[in-house]
Chains A and B, each alone.
Chain A
Amino acid sequence: MRRLARRRGGYRANRVAWRWIAAFCLPALLLYGLFVVVPLVTAFYYGLFRWEGIRQGEFVGLGNYGEVLTRYPLSEEIPAALWHNGLFFVGTMAIQNTVGLGLAVLLYRNPRGKRFFQTVFSLPYLISPLIVGYIWSLLLSPSFGPVNFMLRTVGLDSWARPWLGEPDTALPVLILVNAWQWVGGPMLIFLAALGGIPRELEEAAAMDGASAFRTFWSVRFPLLMPAVGVITVLTFIGCFNIFDLVYALGGSDGGPGGAMDVLGLLYYRTAFEGGTNAIGESSALAIMIFALVFGISVVLERVLRRREVTP
């Protein structure tokens, strides 16, 4: 980060009057500081107190953190939500990013129509997750939804089911719908990374008699590790911040039996549908989620960076 701000040799930055500097920097600083940084610091501060509605009570230190982790029902909802977020992350890595890689390799090898396919595959990217959720809840609805209708038409009556109404299928459907929306992201990153690999390496491997699969796995894939790293971290952050899509598919309770309940929904419910100490508890929860997501992303980035190779 600092590298970006450091002066690059070659041109001389200029000295300018402070009033110019203030006029150019203050608007962004005020806006960002006031509405992004201050609230997060305030959340930490709120979490250290007991609250009676909106009246600030006594200082309890980390008491709210202990309370959130031990008091029923949160003591059961938090591990459940965490587990769902985890499954969601693993499922997304396995499906979305593998399909993304597959599509990138296909497009890399068949450049004809690349631009067209690239656009079509990443089209759902821009749609609001909420709208994506509504679209799929209509398509998947039990009796009048096109998906079940098509299954019945081709004779797979036993497969037709209320996809979002059964605890067993709700989370897998969530993973698939989410993958449908975001697959364009990993595809574009992999495509850019594939384009950066020198052709000579593959040609050398092919001349040595390596099969196509072998060439991919032993030559190209290791060189894709930086892209894999970026995608893993982005997927992790995305999966642990999810809210809109789950809300649209299953409401604020997280679908049938809470099968899709995730940390984002839990924070929302604690903050706005919670008891008298809602402010204290939800702030503690927010800080814990923040620490978890931020901490694991940093660790992930470190671990993955170590495995990178350069051509």
Chain B
Amino acid sequence: MKRLVVPLSAQVMLWTYAAIAFGPLVLVVIGSFRSNADILQQPVGLPDSVNLANYLRAWETASVSTYFANSILVTVGAVALCVAVSTMAAYALSRWRFRGRALLAAFFLSGLMIPAKLGLLPVFYMFQSMGLIDTRLGLILLYAASGVPFSFFVIMGFMRGLPTELEEAARLDGAGEGRLFVSVALPLMRPALAVVTVFQFAPTWNDFFYPLVLLRSDDKYTIPVGLTRFFGEFATDRATLFAGLVIALVPLALVFAFATRQIIAGLTAGMSR
């Protein structure tokens, strides 16, 4: 008897928490299909019909489409740059022997403990002198740079565990260093690259602090800063706000759906250090 009861209550608790975790998101999604008047009258309820008017309004009138395009550009640019430079550095430091190697690795890894955001003010003045204020390129460079320690950490850890026989065989066959890296090592590193890409994607897409300070003009805003503007403008129009929030969530929901395994691998990689 006891055996039956314990799992049942556990199931109940698990489902209860699932409702707590998921419920608010469901309320937002449902709200995005309802009309504003309806929401103000009856905060919780189902939509009368599925209408996409809110989405159209958020996308066009509230220029969420611009913010969205900027976010895509900045995120893809930053993640690609970050993964590229970190992969090359991790490859060199794990496969080649040279003076200062340990020191350089320690230098990269020290960034794991540095709150980079406290350097914002110097970054601001540096950007001003370099003409990078209010540019998407500035953000790309900054995000790529602050992602280096984590990416380097994960790829380096992966490379240490990777056997070198294939590379040695290719070297005996006369492959040059560039060829070795591109045709032999890179394909083997794919799992680590996937984890790093997913893990850089979310914080870059989500960041609010840097663009809040470093961007000036509307047409360059990324989604998070754009949303603060949007929230000011549409403060009373709940339905449009909900639709805007859903749009901002879509890319991450897609990442999550396709990369759950990488996400869990990345979480445990980042935490078991």
Contacts and interface: CB of A to CB of B under 8 A. Distances in A.
Given A5-B105, A27-B88, A144-B40, A40 B114 contact: yes
Contact of A134 (B89, B107, B163, B245): B245
Contact of A5 (B101, B171, B242): B101
Interface in A125-146: 126-131, 134-136, 138-139, 144-146
Contact of A135 (B28, B44, B123, B202): B28
A261 B180 CA distance: 53
Nearest to A192: B268
A293 B177 CA distance: 42
A20 interface: yes
A207 interface: no
Interface stretch (A72-80, A103-111, A165-173): A103-111
A15 B97 contact: yes
Contacts of A131: 206, 224, 227, 245, 248-249
B243 interface: no
Given A4-B157, A38-B122, A244-B209, A25 B93 contact: yes
Q: Tell me the dominant secondary structure on chain B's binding face.
A: helix
B264 A146 contact: no
Interface stretch (B15-23, B53-61, B188-196): B15-23
A8 interface: yes
A109 to B, nearest CB: 7
B104 interface: yes
A6 interface: yes
B108 A2 contact: no
Nearest to A39: B119
A286 interface: yes
A158 interface: no
A299 to B, nearest CB: 13
A267 B122 CA distance: 13
Contacts of A21: 92, 96, 98
Contact of B85 (A13, A28, A145, A243): A28
B174 interface: no
A294 B17 contact: no
A266 to B, nearest CB: 12
A309 interface: no
Contacts of B84: 27
A35 B271 contact: no
A230 interface: yes
B77 interface: no
A189 B265 CA distance: 11
A6 B93 CA distance: 10
Contacts of B271: 185, 188-189, 230-231, 234
B13 interface: yes
Contacts of B107: 29
Given A27-B89, A121-B18, A294-B113, 6 more contacts: A11-B163, A11-B164, A15-B98, A128-B223, A138-B28, A192-B272
Interface of A: 1-2, 4-8, 11, 13-18, 20-21, 23-25, 27-29, 31-32, 34-40, 42-43, 46, 54, 99, 103, 106-107, 109-110, 112-113, 117-124, 126-131, 134-136, 138-139, 144-146, 148-150, 153, 180, 183, 185, 188-189, 192, 230-231, 234, 237, 241, 243-244, 247-248, 264, 267, 271-272, 279, 282-283, 286-287, 289-290, 293-294, 297
Q: In the A-B complex, list the 9 residue pairs whose CB atoms are closest, starting with the nearest.
A: A39-B119, A5-B105, A128-B206, A35-B145, A24-B92, A13-B97, A42-B122, A28-B89, A39-B122
